[in-house]
Amino acid sequence: MPKYGVHAFLLEGSWDNQIAPKVIAEAAELGFDLIEIPLLKPDEFDSALIGKLLSENKLEGVASLGLPKDLHTPANPKGALEFLKKGVDRVADFGGKGLNGCLYCSLGTLTGAPPTSEEKKTIVEVLGKLHPYAKEKGVRLGIEPVNRYETYLYNTGADAAELIRSVGADDMIIHFDTYHMNIEEEGYSKALKEAGPLAAYIHISESHRGLPGEGTVDWDDVFTGLKEINYSGPLVLEAFATINPDLIGATCVWRPCKYPPRELATRGLEFLKQNASEFGLV
């Protein structure tokens, strides 16, 4: 069976060294195998503490991030690379193996125009320098394509695959998210099959960012696609029971979910397990 994960922002609307013990313990108590940690402020991140907490709770940790507004890669490639390297360092230091997310942009930064060839070239150059740095430290990079309202750069799985090919990395992956796929892809299974083995991490997220199964995502198509590519990565529940102040403007999550965090997590995990079993994900 796959590993079941949860994004930390489902359980709490913020992340810092003080809230980490509670969130990590709660994720383990609820039955998750993995927690996705938002690494939005690497300078304030205590890797030794996080590694200790993950070990004590027998939980795997993966990190994700988006760049700060002043470090949008096309506008500030040097600053972006420095920030991303710090992120890799923090992940390696807590014993993590993956850094995923919008490693190429600041969410919510739009130019009013499609990406230029020069902007894409800059991103490839930055990630081309980051990749060997991360690989040497045992950290795999995952590229998350997000919808057109949050970035103009990479919106689909095909976009992410093109970026990975341009970097020339043989171990980078696509970090899919069904919320974004619902907006941008022609179909869930179609996008997953086109990505093939690059599809190695996925956010299970409903169309309204609430409880999976209560929105418009075609879950049969999602899990059919995962089955057809023999998906072996984690199924990571992402919903927003609480609102994070650092992401509210970019994600436009203006109101909390109708369910409290623990109920959302419990019922969401049940949904993951039910569908994984029904579609034979092993």
- Residues with catalytic roles: 144, 238
The phi, psi pair for 133, rounded to 5°, reads: -60, -45
Residue partners of 156: CB distance under 8 A and separation at least 6? 145, 184, 185, 191
* Token output for 109: 């930064």
CA–CA distances in Å: residue 269 to residues 32, 86, 175, 234, 276:
8, 32, 19, 12, 11
Q: What is the CA radius of gyration of the chain?
A: 17
Identify the CA nearest to 112 among candidates 153, 152, 72.
152
Rounded distance between C-alpha atoms, residue 12 and residue 30, angstroms? 14
Rounded distance between C-alpha atoms, residue 268 and residue 101, angstroms? 21
